[in-house]
Structure 1
Amino acid sequence: MTTLFSGIEQYENTIAIIDENQNPISYQKLCNDAQALTLEYQHSKQLVFIRAQNNYATVLAYVACVLAGFPVLLVANENQVQLDELISRYHPNIVVTTDTSKPIFKLLNQTDIKLHSELSHLLSTSGSTGSPKLVKLSHGNIKANCDGIIKYLDLTAEDRGITSLPIHYSYGLSLLNIHLRIGASIVLTELSVVNESFWELYKKHKVTSFSGVPYSFQSLESTRFDFNDYPSTRYVTQAGGKLSTTSILHFAKQLKDNNNQFFVMYGQTEASPRISYLPPKYVFEY
């Protein structure tokens, strides 16, 4: 089975992750750790829920499940009520905790669940009712979405991202997916984008892109933030709702000063996140 991360072992000693303690982790270590995690569960396809945080334990558990072909759902670690409701409704085989340096796989249900062979990801959406529902994505869905984003961002193995959004959020997960799929790297942090320490990490590790939702940019704009203070930045993406034209032009102008790009995007969980974008050359006609 070809999965989203099939073949990432080829990147070997290239840095995949800079973890929450600022330790560099290679693709080789990530793959070795991931394969060791799922060995005892390979006898059948498992439905796995991960209590997600922006840390290495979460990334390791997630990559392990994807490589093993286990359908996976990431749930906010702190949202116990939502997790309990989802467990009660969907009866996953395994729930993974990520509060320690290595994820802990807890077997909850030994029943063989009938899972489609192409089922890869479950993404949470409230829909119009406010109750949690799960969108099903196939291996083909998630790979095509990532490859499309990688192509129009011109992403390469030289790029480095940062977790400016929660990994359990579809947009935040997409950031992780595209970087690992292409052999790039990503810095893990739980810090808010309005925390000075976030931008110290950004500058220290020469992060090449920033991604945010409207609230992210509104908060930065209120602090007189300027991307020109972070010369490693190559491009910026915005999705997760409508950002005002004034704010779009404000940040696009900053980036244009250094020949960098601002991508305005639109996405729906049901079609995989980030399904369309405005080419940066048209932003000033927006």
Structure 2
Amino acid sequence: MIIQNTNNIVLIQKNKKLSYKELLTISNEIYAKINKRALIGIVSYNAIPCICAYVASFNNNCVSIMLPNNQKSIQKYTELFNVEYLFIKSEDNFLDSEVIFELDGFVLLKLRDTKLIADNNLALLLSTSGSTGDSKFVRLSYENILTNTNAICKSLKLTNNHKTISTLPLNYSFGLSIINTFLHSQASIVLSESSIFNKDFWDLFLEYEVNCIFGVPYTFSMLDKLKATKHFTKVTLLAQAGGKMDNKLLAKYANYAKENNKDFYVMYGQTEASPRISYLNPKFSLSKIGSIGKALDKINMYLIDENNNKINTSNTEGELCIEAKSVALGYASSYEDLQKGDVFNGVLKTGDIAKYDEDGFFFVVGRKSRFLKVFGNRVSLDSIEDILRSNFCGEFLAHGRDDLITILSTNKDIQSIKNLLSNETKLNKSAFKVQYIQEIPKNQNGKPILKIEQ
């Protein structure tokens, strides 16, 4: 990020405010304690010191790996990737390592003497979690992040007058992307370690007159249940990414935004794309409901068929692909992988099945891996979930194997669910197994998973 040395306020946490000039000063103090081109683990709290550590790494040609606040994960990944330094909250420090720097309740630890051997372009390691909760790390370059950050700022028209509040963790690609774009725009970020269910969150939200709010579908679902729009008196921009939101809820927010002269953006992305790929212009939020819109600046978005041929006809399903400088270098599962160069070569097959309409607006149909053959018929698990959400109250998660679709449901009306699915899909009821569950397990970003992450 290009961070200007100004007195504008960048970070706010409770009663503490930090200017861009102070952010750069502290970041340089952190960098002065570490070796050049080092690998730094940053345990991801929504806190001023963590942002300072991230900027210290990014602006000084180091590599950062963003980690969840979880002892098992911290231990595993710092060893797996031979992490040299770790930035962690003092009270959560469980490691017997040398403390070389302290800042407002956080410490920088020297874990080991290691000379990082990595591709010169490598800037950041971010994990990506699949529906089973398994994680792998994406290798992102400086160019990847800067290119994507510029494109987002342009599309959302972000300026130094914007102010947001943290709703997502820093180790989640969308959460970190919000930080990147606001730093780049010389805007302000209110940091809260409280959830949206906590009074402290809304006290900060109102006190500092937040005018932008970002979230994943789960965030907006919970905001709806809390009737949170009553607090949005200063909000001018709302943006959703991180998964497909129910069309009814999309329409509710789109209508709210239209009636109250606010901009509601729907965005689509993947960690492998640094992470945002497309956006739906607010003026189409109702007429193109359910669409992921069109590609961000300097991204070529297209579809391919099963033979890898480009699809040139509208309303034809295929795998969504992109070509862009924001496409990651590749994956990493060990320290040795950090030496690899650009494996993706600017091309990403997203694994999402999509189509585009006559006006060029894209719609994601489902994941390539989330289709089953049931009695010879190709069935989308995402479509099954959409049918249920449109007709029943509750949450649903579909999975299974060929010839049997299993649905986890927080709605107890199992027979009615089976009847509806049979009618809608024209499949025998024996194709469906419905299991009642009190709550659908989710990861820290609100995405459903088939097993709870440890």
> TM-score, length-normalised on structure 2?
0.58
In 2: Cα distance, 1:126 partner to 1:195 partner: 26
Amino acid aligned to 2:24:
C
The answer for the alignment partner of 1:23 in structure 2 is: 16
Q: How does 1:172-211 map to 2 (within 5 A)?
A: 172-211=175-214
Amino acid of the structure 1 residue aligned with 2:86: V
Change (3 A) 1:65 1:58: same
**What residue number does 2:31 align with?**
38
The residue type equivalent to 1:251 in the other structure is Y
* CA apart distance, 1:217: 1.2
CA-to-partner distance for each residue in 1:59-86, whole Å, 9 max, x for gaps?
1111111111111111112x11111111
Deviation of 1:243 (Å)? 0.7
User: 1:48–1:95: 8 Å Cα contact kept in structure 2?
Assistant: yes
Deviation by residue 1:151-204 (Cα, 9 ceiling, x = unmatched): 011000111111011122111111111111111110000111233332221121
The Cα shift of 1:53 comes to 0.5
Equivalent position of 2:331 in the other structure: none
- 1:120 is aligned, of 123, 140, 144, to 123
Cα distance in 1 for partners of 2:180, 2:21 equals: 17
Partner of 1:257: 259
Residue deviations 1:81-100 (CA, integer Å, cap 9, x gap): 11111122111111111346
Gaps of 5+ in 1: none
Residue 86 of structure 1 contacts residue 132 of structure 1 at CA under 8 Å; is this kept in 2? Answer: no
Aligned equivalents of 2:79, 2:124: Cα separation in 1: 19
Cα separation, 2, equivalents of 1:9 and 1:102: 26
Say whether 1:84 aligns with 2:71.
no
Letter in 1 for 2:141: S
Task: List alignment gaps of at least 5 residues for structure 2.
Answer: 91-102, 290-454
The count of aligned residue pairs is: 276
Q: Encode CA deviations 1:192-241: one digit per residue, 9 max, x unaligned.
A: 123333222112111111011111111122233325x4221111011111
Distance 1:123 1:192 in 2: 22
Matched residue of 2:242: which SS? coil
Is 1:280 the equivalent of 2:282? yes
Q: 2:39 aligns to what?
A: 47
Larger helix fraction of residues: 1
Cross-structure match for 2:140: 137
Aligned equivalents of 1:122 and 1:150: distance in 2? Answer: 22
Pair 52,282 (structure 1): closer, same or farther in 2 beyond 3 Å:
same
Looking at structure 2, the residues matched to 273 and 203 of structure 1 have their Cα atoms a distance apart, in angstroms, of: 29
| RMSD over aligned Cα atoms | 1.7
Choose 1 or 2 for highest CA Rg.
2
Shift >4 Å, 4+ stretches: 127-130
Residue 221 of structure 1: aligned partner: 224
Matched residues in 2 for 1:173 and 1:231: separation? 26
d(CA) in 2 for partners of 1:278 and 1:165? 21
TM-score (norm 1): 0.91
User: What is the CA–CA distance in structure 2 between the aligned matches of 1:149 and 1:75, rounded to whole Å?
Assistant: 24
